[in-house]
Amino acid sequence: MTGQGPDARRAAVLGSPIAHSLSPVLHRAAYEQLGLTGWTYDRYEVDEAALPGFFAELGPEWAGLSLTMPLKRAVIPLLDEISETARSVEAVNTVVFTEDGRRTGDNTDIPGMVAALRERGIEQVDSAAILGAGATASSALAALARVCTGEVVAYVRSAARAAEMREWGERLDVEVRTADWADAAEALRAPLVVATTPAGATDELASAVPERPATLFDVLYDPWPTPLAARWSMFGGAVVSGLDLLVHQAVLQVEQMTRRTPAPLDAMRKAGEHALDAR
């Protein structure tokens, strides 16, 4: 491992599974551009049971951690404080270790989504649709609280998921109506569609893309494009990808962990694109 001098700092991404994570590629590209030659960023396979033990072994050289599933909620009891953004969805994807040893948690997925939309010129919409109701859907709702002025329709597969989404809407002060997944093709006519489902779940909807689609935010990035995103682009609609989200949330993580701004967005995106092409 490089960077063993007095200026050496460590960061990493934790989760399970973690081998697929692009975070090391993005963060290392940022360190190179910022001239942080003593910094390292690695990945560790850590599940919920192993997380407290991992934290107990961390030394003062650690600057921060990125967290993916299933750790975003499990980490909260191990922290000294969390941001309002993280508290709003009960999910932390970023931990920063302060100079006085405190562990602070934040959620950069939500502002990352907003930044990815704004990069494509989406500042505000009067309604939106969400495909799916998992953990990413709650972050999407929190992002839409900052972007959407009207109703959000969530297309879900079960009554339990529908109830969860309505509860999240109340908590986040978003007007949420739920609809059955069987009617998900109707979602594609919304001014903004956010697909939060696993790979393959929206493939059946590709044939239902309208002739003049508006904006699709598909949180997947590998494989890319999804059939839905490919069809959307073919019909001239704007598409925001999971890589856009990944890069924008990583930019915010780098800035928090290194206290250097701005993080090199373009270099990080190119590194991510090259890594995906290599796969």
Give the residue numbers marked as catalytic.
72
DSSP-derived secondary structure letter, 38: T
219-256 burial string, b = 16+ CB within 10 Å, else e?
Answer: bbbeeebbbbbebbeeeebbbbbbbbbbbbbbbbbbeb
Q: Are 105 and 76 in contact (CB under 8 A)?
A: yes
DSSP per residue, 186-246: GGGGSSEEEE-PPTTTTGGGGGG--SS--EEEE---SSSS-HHHHHHHHTT-EEE-HHHHH
Q: Are 219 and 193 in contact (CB under 8 A)?
A: no
DSSP per residue, 86-97: HHHHT---EEEE
Rg (CA), the chain: 19
